[in-house]
Amino acid sequence: MTQLTVDLGARSYPIRIGSGLINKAEEFTSIIKTKRVVVITNDTVKPIYLDTLLTSLADFDVSAFSLPDGEQYKTLDSFEKVNAYLLENNCGRDTTLVALGGGVIGDLVGFVAACYQRGVPFVQVPTTLLSQVDSSVGGKTAVNHPLGKNMIGAFKQPEAVVIDVDTLNTLPAREFAAGISEVLKYGLICDKAFWKSLIENQQQIKALEQSFLIDIIYKCCAIKADVVAQDEQERGVRALLNLGHTFGHAIEAEMGYGVWLHGEAVATGMVLAAKTSLNRGYISQADYDEIKQTIAAYDLPVDKPEEMDCSAFIKHMMRDKKVQNNVMRFILPSELGQSQLYADVTQQELEQVLDA
C-alpha cells in the first residue's frame, strides 16, 4: 500500500492505493470515526464487492443501499432516494457514508454527504479507473441536469480515498479505456514525461500490469492533490483539470447521459481542443497527430458525433461552469505537457473545428 495526502489544513485526508485494500478491516477502522456506516453502491458493483466490504466493516453498525448503474441515474431523483433511505433508517450526523463504485456513485454520495443534515462524513472507495485517478479526489460532488452535466452540487471533501487496484480486474474494457482518457489528460496538462511514458508503456497498461497501474494512479492522484491544495474551489489553476471537458460535457448532454461514457466524451474533447490549438499555431501538426493517435491507440473515440454541429456544441458550452460574463473559456494545450485557459476563442474558430 502506498499513500499520499491532499493537503487542506484541518480537512486534509489520505489517498491510499494498493492491492486487496477492500479486504482489510484496518483500512477502514483507522479512518472512520463514527459507529454507524452506510455503504452506497450500484447494482453492478454490489454482487462483486459489497459483501467483502461489509465484512471489512463488521466492527461498525453497517447497512447498505444500492442504486441502478449508469450515468443516467446521476440525478436529483437518485439523490432523493438515498436521502430517503437515510431518513427512514434514522441515520444521524454520527453516520459515515461509504461510496462504493465509480464516478457516478462517488459524485452522488458526496453530494448527499454535503447536504444530509447539513453535512455528514463520507469515504470514497472508487472501483473504476476514472474514479480512482480523478473524480474520487478533490471534493467536487454533483448530479446532472438535463440541461447540463454536474450543474447541481457542492464541494465536499471525503475523510479518505481507499483505492483497491484489484477492482480494475473486473472492469469492462470500455470502462477501463474511459478511465485512461483522464490519465492522458494529466500528461497533456502538465507533465510531458508522464505523457511520453503512457505512450511507451501502452501495452503493459492495457494488460493491467499491477505495478504500472499503481504507478499511474499514484501519479494522477499526486497531480490532482497538488492542484486541489492550491485551488480547492476551482477559482484558478484547478480549471486546467478540465482539458477536453467543455467539449466533452456538451457531447454527453446532447447525446444523452450514458450513451457516450464520460471518458469517451473527454477523449474526443481533448482532440477537439488540440485541433483548436493546432489552428492557432500553439502546437505542431506532429504534436496534434501524436495526441490523436495516442488517444485512439487506447481504444477511445477521436471524432465528434456526426449529428452534432457547432450550434449543438455551443448551446451546451454556454452553460459550462467556466463561462464568465457570458464568455466561453477553454482549456487548450499550449504545447505537449502544458495547457492554459483562453477566453478569446471565437465562434468562427469553433466552426472551423466542429463543422470541418
**How many of the other CB atoms lie within 10 Å of CB of 135?**
26
| Annotated active-site residue in 149, 242, 264, 304 | 242
Choosing from 234, 252, 254, 264, the catalytic residue is 234
Catalytic, 316? Answer no
Q: 3-state DSSP: the chain helix, strand, coil percent, rounded to 5?
A: 50, 20, 30
Catalytic residue among 185, 238, 304, 329: 238
Name the active-site residue from 16, 36, 140, 149: 140
Assess contact for 143 and 152: CB atoms under 8 A: yes
In the residue annotation, 224 being an active-site residue is answered as yes
The answer to whether residue 306 is catalytic is no
159 is known as an active-site residue? no
Q: How far apart are CA 342 and CA 55, in angstroms?
A: 49
Catalytic member of 27, 159, 182, 252: 182
Catalytic residue among 185, 249, 316, 329: 249
Active site residue 245: yes
Tell me, yes or no, if 319 is annotated catalytic. Answer: no
CA distance 100 to 203: 29
At 138, list the grid cell.
478533490
Q: Is 262 a catalytic residue?
A: yes
Candidates 16, 149, 245, 304; catalytic one: 245
Asked if 196 is an active-site residue, the reply is no
Active site residue 234: yes
| Selected catalytic residue, list 224, 304, 321, 329 | 224
DSSP β-ladder status, 122-126 and 95-101: parallel
- Distance, CA of 278 to CA of 270 (rounded, Å): 12
Active-site residue 71, yes or no?
no
Kindly name the residue from 26, 88, 118, 235 that is annotated as catalytic. 118
Catalytic residue among 74, 185, 262, 292: 262
What's phi and psi for 92, nearest 5 deg? -105, -170
Catalytic residue positions, numbered: 118, 140, 182, 224, 234, 238, 242, 245, 249, 262
